[in-house]
């Protein structure tokens, strides 16, 4: 199992646009084979969107990066955030 936590700080005034435009990508990712969870949480006070991603294995996580909705949609969304992405990857839960 692979769990990935990704954080984006959204530019001021772009919150609604970002949330609107990321939704189709999130919904498409949830349909990918091997996707166990793909959940977005919004922190309005800090303007940070956090994605909690969970894939059945490393192959499914790698394949996620090849799908058109990732390659096109996520690259197009860069205009809405500060350019800094914080991502943490966790594999092989211990309990």
Per-residue pLDDT 10s for the chain (95 aa) are 999 999 999 999 998 998 888 899 999 999 999 999 999 999 999 999 999 999 999 999 999 989 888 876 777 888 998 888 899 999 988 88
* pLDDT value of residue 12: 94
- Cα(95)–Cα(81) distance, integer angstroms: 35
Report the predicted TM-score, pTM, of the whole model to 2 decimal places: 0.87
- d(C-alpha 83, C-alpha 68), whole Å: 21
Instruction: Identify the pLDDT of residue 47.
Output: 93
């Amino acid at each position: 199992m692979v769990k990935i936590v990704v954080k984006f700080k959204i530019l001021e005034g772009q919150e609604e646009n970002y949330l609107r435009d990321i939704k189709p990508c999130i919904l498409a990712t949830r349909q990918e084979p091997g996707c166990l969870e793909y959940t977005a949480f919004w922190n309005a006070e800090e303007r940070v969107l956090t994605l909690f991603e969970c894939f059945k294995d490393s192959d499914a996580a790698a394949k996620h990066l090849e799908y058109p909705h990732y390659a096109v949609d996520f690259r197009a969304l860069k205009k809405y955030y500060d350019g800094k992405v914080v991502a943490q990857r966790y594999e092989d839960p211990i309990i």
